Chain A
């Protein structure tokens, strides 16, 4: 894994996007979005994970992750969500990854070494990223175990990836446009829906500078 001297914001984002890719494949497998037989067993972070074999699925996921990475590199992302929709396009579940605690880095500093300084300006030793693998493993374990926790999904569900941006950034519009602006539906900002969600915590990962939380929101009134 990464060695501390080479830790830059870009490597941090790369670790996170790798993890996100595996997480999306796992979610697809667990929630039966695609038939389980279309997944093969793979190994990541020294852990057994499932990876989809369908080329279009993989391609879509890779493109989505690339778009998320672009936004992450601008330090504009508040949260990343993998949303599961029913056949009627009603969101039933959201797998949230709160990345607001990522360091906010200038675009010019993407490849400079990250160093944490204490209150008085002295450099604080960084927590080694060695146990980042372990934390990812734990998160994977939790994600795979979600099948027993969540209600089974109805037939014909689909999924997508959404990001919630920080308020001070610019929306990613322009040509070509990878993101589609949508109304906040299951998000916490819409007050009335808030009480209808059940939240299952997954994991708060803190590996050096890579700090994010993850949880699962499930719409209670999903039919």
Chain B
């Protein structure tokens, strides 16, 4: 036992040149801290008698400091690089120069000072009375910065995390409060709600500094935004509820970022669709966020405020696409989406009566998407198609929703299925060329076919 520590210290301090504090020694050898301090002292003395300055030490001095002039304190502090930790406010004499100092009672201040060995004498001189001194740590070469000693404690916490402090305190001599009790946490952490998390993630990733409002609120805000923005390009409609506007203005800022997330293809598509049809036909009440993004592309033309964060947000687009895909798959399970679905379905109902122009266009638009590609004579595998549908609300708001729908084609030149659409409709739709232009390749094919006919 006696020889163990010498060997251990020789290995760690001299050979490996590590910083060893009394705490590390006590944890490593499973001994009491006070014993560890004595071992450190012994080792230090022995090694230095063998070879002077082989081992350096830092000391911990506890006591009451002498009353000193403030200059002295700061001066020596800089010199000796001491860390002075005081347990109570500084002595009153050092703060305000009062003429009647003798009336004040000096407050007893206990000082714990960590000093390098070369500064020990100087530090001791500062103390009026010393209650305790012991070696704090040993190192082979001089200690550069006192704060590197924090590394010892971090290592202890990391290496010995498995030990229960309530059990081993006797062994190590840690200060213990006899009345302390461990509190058991009965409740399990709530299981994460995956859809909500994904929604939040998708909205957070476009790098907009959004606070985390509830998803519901966001969607309601997007509803109003959709209506507001959609009403802009198509002729004047009733203004959206002013109540929803103020809370959404802030989020609009972040949503504008997200509009960039849609990607430039979307922006182009939205713009051209705007010019030609005034509404881009899509479906899926579940995909409100997607829809709002496309609308906000339109808004960007008007606002032209935000030109930042494009590269970051482009990443968000791809995530958003994946997100939309997942959502489409999870539409049944998603509560939030269900709420949105309800809202949207109400709007859809209102739309049927009023938005006569929009509806047939929307339906026509859906199918030509497929036929156009067929005409090109290209082979297509499975692909996901973004469809927009504009529906008119009861109150006259145009709400454009976008849905990612999976379509799988395995077609050669003549498409075996989906030729139910007569060529006239496809002609119709190629006028609204941008709708097809949305997905990059299909869009190009659309236009090319248009020209080829001529």
Chain A contacts to B: CB under 8 angstroms:
29-30, 36-37, 41, 46-48, 50, 137, 141, 144-149
Closest to B155 in A: A137
**In whole angstroms, what is the CA distance A148 to B57 when docked?**
13
A-B contact pairs, 25 of them (CB 8 A): A29-B145, A30-B144, A30-B145, A37-B78, A41-B147, A46-B154, A47-B151, A48-B145, A48-B147, A48-B150, A50-B145, A137-B151, A144-B144, A144-B145, A144-B148, A145-B139, A145-B141, A145-B142, A145-B144, A145-B148, A146-B144, A148-B56, A148-B142, A148-B143, A149-B141
Contacts of B17 in A (CB 8 A): 145
Contacts of B78 in A (CB 8 A): 36-37
**Nearest CB of A to B254, in Å:** 26
**In whole angstroms, what is the CA distance A30 to B56 when docked?**
18
From B56, B141, B148, give the contact of A48 (CB < 8 A). B148
**In whole angstroms, what is the CA distance A41 to B56 when docked?**
23
Contacts of A46 in B (CB 8 A): 154
**In whole angstroms, what is the CA distance A29 to B139 when docked?**
20
Contacts of B56 in A (CB 8 A): 148
**In whole angstroms, what is the CA distance A203 to B143 when docked?**
18
**Nearest CB of A to B142, in Å:** 3
Tally of A-B Cβ pairs under 8 angstroms: 40
CB-CB under 8 A for A147 and B142, given A37-B78, A46-B154:
yes
The contact size tier of chain B is 10 to 19
| CB <8 Å contact, B145 and A141 | no
Closest to B141 in A: A148
**Nearest CB of A to B75, in Å:** 13
List 7 tightest A-B contacts by C-beta distance, closest first: A148-B142, A148-B141, A144-B144, A147-B144, A48-B147, A48-B150, A145-B144
Contacts of A148 in B (CB 8 A): 56, 141-144
| CB <8 Å contact, A141 and B141 | no
Extra contacts, 4 of them, besides A47-B154, A141-B151, A145-B148 (Cβ < 8 A), are A36-B81, A48-B147, A145-B139, A146-B144
Q: Looking at chain A's contact residues, is the secondary structure mostly helix, strand, loop, or mixed?
A: helix
Contacts of B144 in A (CB 8 A): 30, 144-148
Chain B residues 430-453 with CB under 8 Å of chain A are none
Contacts of A144 in B (CB 8 A): 144-145, 148
Contacts of B142 in A (CB 8 A): 145, 147-148
Interface centre among A29, A47, A48 (most CB of B within 10 A): A48
**Nearest CB of A to B153, in Å:** 11
**In whole angstroms, what is the CA distance A51 to B147 when docked?**
13
Closest to B145 in A: A144
Chain B residues 49-89 with CB under 8 Å of chain A are 56, 78, 81
From B143, B150, B154, give the contact of A145 (CB < 8 A). B143
Interface centre among A29, A30, A41, A145 (most CB of B within 10 A): A145
**In whole angstroms, what is the CA distance A50 to B144 when docked?**
12
Contacts of B143 in A (CB 8 A): 145, 148
Interface centre among B56, B143, B147 (most CB of A within 10 A): B147
**Nearest CB of A to B15, in Å:** 14
Interface centre among B19, B56, B141, B151 (most CB of A within 10 A): B151
**Nearest CB of A to B264, in Å:** 20
**In whole angstroms, what is the CA distance A146 to B145 when docked?**
10
**In whole angstroms, what is the CA distance A48 to B146 when docked?**
10
Closest to A39 in B: B145
**In whole angstroms, what is the CA distance A36 to B78 when docked?**
9
**Nearest CB of A to B150, in Å:** 5
Contacts of A37 in B (CB 8 A): 78
What are the interface flags for B317-352 relative to A under an 8 Å C-beta threshold, 1 for contact and 0 otherwise?
000000000000000000000000000000000000
Contacts of A146 in B (CB 8 A): 144
Contacts of B147 in A (CB 8 A): 41, 48
**In whole angstroms, what is the CA distance A23 to B436 when docked?**
55
**In whole angstroms, what is the CA distance A46 to B147 when docked?**
12
**In whole angstroms, what is the CA distance A50 to B145 when docked?**
9
**In whole angstroms, what is the CA distance A42 to B150 when docked?**
12
Closest to A48 in B: B147
Chain B residues 147-170 with CB under 8 Å of chain A are 147-148, 150-151, 154
From A36, A48, A147, give the contact of B151 (CB < 8 A). A48
**Nearest CB of B to A122, in Å:** 31
Contacts of A47 in B (CB 8 A): 150-151, 154
Closest to B150 in A: A48
What are the interface flags for B167-187 relative to A under an 8 Å C-beta threshold, 1 for contact and 0 otherwise?
000000000000000000000
**In whole angstroms, what is the CA distance A49 to B154 when docked?**
14
**In whole angstroms, what is the CA distance A4 to B267 when docked?**
35
Contacts of B141 in A (CB 8 A): 145, 148-149
Contacts of A48 in B (CB 8 A): 145, 147-148, 150-151
Closest to A30 in B: B144
**In whole angstroms, what is the CA distance A223 to B54 when docked?**
27
**In whole angstroms, what is the CA distance A21 to B208 when docked?**
28
**In whole angstroms, what is the CA distance A36 to B144 when docked?**
12
Contacts of B151 in A (CB 8 A): 47-48, 137, 141
**Nearest CB of A to B3, in Å:** 28
**In whole angstroms, what is the CA distance A46 to B157 when docked?**
12
**Nearest CB of A to B55, in Å:** 12
Contacts of A147 in B (CB 8 A): 142, 144
Contacts of A50 in B (CB 8 A): 145
**Nearest CB of A to B226, in Å:** 35
**Nearest CB of A to B267, in Å:** 25
What are the interface flags for B115-149 relative to A under an 8 Å C-beta threshold, 1 for contact and 0 otherwise?
00000000000000000000000010111110110
**In whole angstroms, what is the CA distance A50 to B151 when docked?**
14
Closest to B146 in A: A48
**Nearest CB of A to B448, in Å:** 31
**Nearest CB of A to B47, in Å:** 16
**In whole angstroms, what is the CA distance A36 to B143 when docked?**
15
**Nearest CB of A to B222, in Å:** 31
Contacts of B145 in A (CB 8 A): 29-30, 48, 50, 144
Contacts of A29 in B (CB 8 A): 145
**Nearest CB of B to A150, in Å:** 10
Closest to A137 in B: B151
**In whole angstroms, what is the CA distance A48 to B155 when docked?**
13
